[in-house]
Amino acid sequence: ERRQRRQLQDQLQELKGSIRVMCRARPLAADEADPVLSVPSSTEVVLNLPGRDGRKSFVFDHAFGTNCSQADVFEEVEPVLDSVLNGFNCCIFAYGQTGS
């Protein structure tokens, strides 16, 4: 059963693709008045820019809103870590301010 579970997990990771891009929006700081960024769905991030640029929408494999927790992010990347333990290569790259 354990071997079958591992094989199914590896197949699922392969179907999802070898490269996945995720975005996590941080909560507003105290001195920030209006939210410029919104996360209307689990895959979309919208920038509401003042002036002529207006609204821009971006699609990701997964988008985390301002109210998500570290546990929510870990839940999404945990299967990738399982694949590493099964001998597959993996790179998780995080970019942004520490503590943001």
43-64 pLDDT, tens digit each: 999 998 887 778 899 999 899 9
Query: Does residue 25 lie in a domain region?
Result: yes
pTM: 0.72
What total number of domains does the chain contain?
Answer: 1
Query: Does residue 92 lie in a domain region?
Result: no
Beta sheet of 54-59, edge-to-edge order: 37-38, 44-49, 54-59
pLDDT of residue 71: 93
CA Rg, the chain, in Å?
17
Query: Does residue 77 lie in a domain region?
Result: yes
Query: Does residue 9 lie in a domain region?
Result: yes
Query: Does residue 94 lie in a domain region?
Result: no
Residue 44: exposure state from Cβ atoms within 10 A (0-12, 13-18, ≥19): middle
Q: Find the domain containing 62 and state its range.
A: 2-85
Question: How far is the C-alpha of 8 from the C-alpha of 1, rounded, in Å?
Answer: 11
Work out the angle at residue 100's Cα, subtended by the Cα atoms of residues 67 and 98, and round it to the nearest 5 degrees: 140
